[in-house]
Structures are given as C-alpha cells and as structure tokens.
Amino acid sequence: MISVLAPGPHTTIQDSGRPGYYAMGLPPSGALDQYAHACANLLVGNTEAAATLEATMAGPTLGFEQDAIVAVTGADVEVTIDGHPVEMWAAHPIRAGQQLKIGLARAGARAYLAVRGGIDCPLFLGSRSTYTAASIGGLTGGPLVAGDALRLGCETAGPARPGARIDSRLRSHAGDSVSLRVVPGLCTYRFTAESLERFFTSTYTMTARADRIGCRLDGPSLTYVEREQPFGAGDDPSNVVDLGYPVGSIQVPSGTEPICLLRDAVTGGGYATLGTVISADLDLLAQARAPDTVRFEPVSIDDALAARAASRARLREVRTNLNLLSLF
C-alpha cells in the first residue's frame, strides 16, 4: 500500500490508454508521454502498459507501507527518498516506512512514477486511465487527493532491476523549444495559401491554457478562404459541419490561437482542422509548457510512418538494453 501524503497540483493514474472507443466519442486517454511512461515501467520490470502516476508540473509526496522498486521518468524533476536525491530514469529500491517526493518540474511538464507491479485500481473498459472530463478511471475518476491509498498490482513482465538505468542517449530531454511534424489536413482547403505558409514558417508560444485535453498557442493569426457557410456549419469562418478530431489534430478557432488536441480531447466537432501532429511527436508536445516555443513542419504520411517506426525502434533498444542488464 502507498499513502498519498500530498497529491501535487494534478497527479492522475494513467496506463497506456483506452483504445477502441473513439467511435463512441470516448478518447483514448492514457499517459500523454507514452515513451516516458513505458520506460518507467520497463525499469521496474512491469508490462509497458501497467498503470503509473502522471504528475503535472510537480509531483506527489508518497508514504510507502511496503518494500517496492520505483522509477521516475519524463520531465526534469528532483526525486527524493527520505529527503535524499535519487537519479531519474533509474530504478531504486524503497523500504516500508520511507517517503518518496517528486518536486517541481525544472524542464518539461509531466513526470511518470512507476512502481513494480503497477498501480492497481478498477478497470473501466479495459483501462485504469483517469479521464477527468467524464469522471472515469483511476480511483474516483479524478486526480489524486491527500489521504488516497494506492494498492500495487501484479503486472510484472520481468525480473526486478534495482540499480538499472536507461542510458542518457535514450532518455528524453525537455527544452524550451520544440519542433513538431504535422501531416496537413483535414481542412487545409479552408485556409488561404498565405496562412498555411505563415503557420509553417512562424514560431508559436505555449500559453498557460493547457491540460490533458489540449494546449493553446499564441502566435500569428490565420485567414480562412471566404465562402458562404454550408447548412449545418456556424457563422464563424472556422466552423465546418462536424468532423472527427484525431489525437494531435490542430484547430484554429476564428483564425487565432491554434489548439493542439491531446489524448483526453473530444473526438469530433465543428472547427476546421489544419493538420495533425504525428504520433511520434505527441510525447514532445506533452512535455511543452508555457512559455516554450513551438514550430511546425509539414510532412507526408510516409514520413509520419517512418517516424513512428523509428520511435518504436528506440523503445525496443531500451527494452533490449535492460534485458541485457538482467543477465549480469
């Protein structure tokens, strides 16, 4: 059992997500930084999909009532056990009676705490991920609160690896600027050619209006092609008759402040979508925070598929390296 002594500003239970219900209007949720989430689990010998704690901007203080193996990845935070700093992206033993604290994020936005066995809580449609907009998943459908008690599960997939660490070459390193690759569409035809060029050549700034649903950016405004709005669309030029929103899709209401939708976003609506951030770069977007700068690069679907393959190969290398450590 783990006691939540202080929850942090927004700490939720997340696993790899709840796929398969998009047509029902239910987004996948799950860890926003899937790579950091998987790496934390691999370090402690869990399945990659096991539930972790996702801490936003600062983390919780936890009291352990049993021995465990823990690892923290993702945003650059100070991690202490009984007040003594320990390395991120590494597995550490923790004893019953000790406390673990995750401090303020110095860079990046979200840190992930994995505990051997995974965080246990009731499954909802096959996932433990918390989706606060619908109050489902996690312990009670919302962020952790002081006094919560976390049980450990049995989602292990390998030996315990206290002392294991991920090579710095394979760690994510958040900075104050990020470049995101975007597949243009579904509604690029609604924007003028000059606006599309402006979007892909300008620098935008992350605003504080960001959460697991999406993040709003500040930068040059965009212009829509003039037309008579079709029946069913609203009066604003950014309105279209409803369409689906892929995770990572970018909408620009009224031509100002683009919004990038994340894993808790609504699955459809009536705003024109300029493009979609590729899956391989969604982890980068998950770690961006105000006032980080963001630039967008148009790529093809083939480029996106190649980037996804490279991302998967990177995780395979982590998996291979940790399995080799287990042999010694």
- How would you write 249-260 as a 3-class SS string? EEECHHHCCCEE
Task: Tell me if 150 sits within 8 A of 119, measured CB to CB.
Answer: yes
- φ/ψ of 256, rounded to 5, equals -125, 150
pLDDT in tens, 140-174: 999 999 999 999 999 998 888 899 999 999 999 88
Cα-flanking dihedrals φ and ψ of residue 23, to 5°? -65, -20
Domains of the chain: 2-170 (no CATH), 177-306 (2.40.100.10)
Q: What is the pLDDT of residue 326?
A: 59
Q: β-strands 293-298, 177-184: how paired?
A: parallel
Q: Taking residues 25-45, report their average pLDDT.
A: 97
**pTM for the complete prediction?**
0.95
Write down the pLDDT at residue 233: 79
In this predicted model, what pLDDT tens digit does every residue of 102-111 receive, in sequence order? 999 999 999 9
With CA atoms as reference, report the closest residue to 69 among 4, 118, 116. Answer: 116
Counting Cα atoms < 13 Å in the Cβ hemisphere of 59 gives 30
Nearest to 263 by CA among 36, 16, 76, 47: 16
Closest Cα partner for 33 from 179, 169, 212?
Answer: 212
